[in-house]
Amino acid sequence: MGIETLTDEKIAQLLATPKRVENPQAREKQEGQHIKRDYRIVSDDGDNRFALFTRQSTRIADGFSAGLLWHAKTGEEVMLLRCNGVNHFHPNVLERERIEFQCHVHVATERYIQANRKSEGYAQATQAYQTLAGALHHLVQLAHIEGLKTEPGEAQLPGLFEERP
């Protein structure tokens, strides 16, 4: 399956499939003005491989990101989820809306892929986290990843995909 045939249903299936971390002791590395950490992830059934990453700016406290990349069997890589900090605004180009300096969660969508945009070009504002630790915790929950000890870091409010009363 190539990226151009990736549907919202397949994206939801990839996110919902149980996964586990292969290298939970991954070490932090400084790269330029970021501290990064990279984890290898595999689905429990062994059919899919992913990469989980964290990035923290060494200059901007609110400049952080935690993301989940899917390694398709075709060799293509697709960003499925990315939880970003508040250090920038994000435009949802196709919807002509803008998220103003809030934490936000990028989600891959069929619509953005078909429009030749970044797969995860669509984002929603969230109050589920305020720190990189919280973003990682939120992403691990959204993507059903086991084998990595995470903590919310602060009080959690309803998240992006949770039902609200």
Q: What is the pLDDT of residue 33?
A: 93
In a domain, 165, yes or no: no
pTM reported for the whole predicted model:
0.87
Task: Choose among 89, 121, 91, 120: nearest CA to 102.
Answer: 89
3-state secondary structure of 113: helix
Contact in structure between 46 and 29 (CB atoms under 8 Å): no
What b/e string do you get for 124-155 counting C-beta neighbours within 10 Å, with b at 16 or more?
eebebbbbbbbbbbbbbbbbebeebebebbee
Q: What is the pLDDT of residue 161?
A: 39
Q: What is the pLDDT of residue 27?
A: 95
Q: What is the pLDDT of residue 20?
A: 97
Contact in structure between 121 and 94 (CB atoms under 8 Å): yes
Q: What is the pLDDT of residue 1?
A: 55
- pLDDT tens for 106-165 read 999 999 999 999 999 999 999 999 999 999 999 999 999 999 989 876 543 344 334 433
Q: What is the pLDDT of residue 87?
A: 85
Q: From the centroid of its chain, how far is CA 47?
A: 20
d(CA 123, CA 69): 16
In a domain, 65, yes or no: yes
d(CA 89, CA 125): 10
Residues in the chain: 165
DSSP 8-state assignment for residue 29: E
Residue 84: give the domain boundaries. Answer: 3-146
In a domain, 60, yes or no: yes
Q: Lowest-pLDDT range, 2-11, 19-28, 99-108?
A: 2-11
- pLDDT tens for 45-102 read 999 999 999 999 999 989 999 999 999 998 999 999 999 999 888 989 889 899 988 9
Q: Domain total for the chain?
A: 1
pLDDT band at 103 (very low <50, low <70, confident <90, very high): very high
Q: What is the pLDDT of residue 66?
A: 97
Beta bridge partners of 135: none
In a domain, 154, yes or no: no
- The type of residue at 126 is T
116: Cβ contacts below 8 Å, ≥ 6 apart: none
Please, what sign has the CA dihedral across residues 65, 145, 51, 163?
negative
In a domain, 162, yes or no: no
In a domain, 155, yes or no: no
In a domain, 164, yes or no: no
- The type of residue at 148 is L
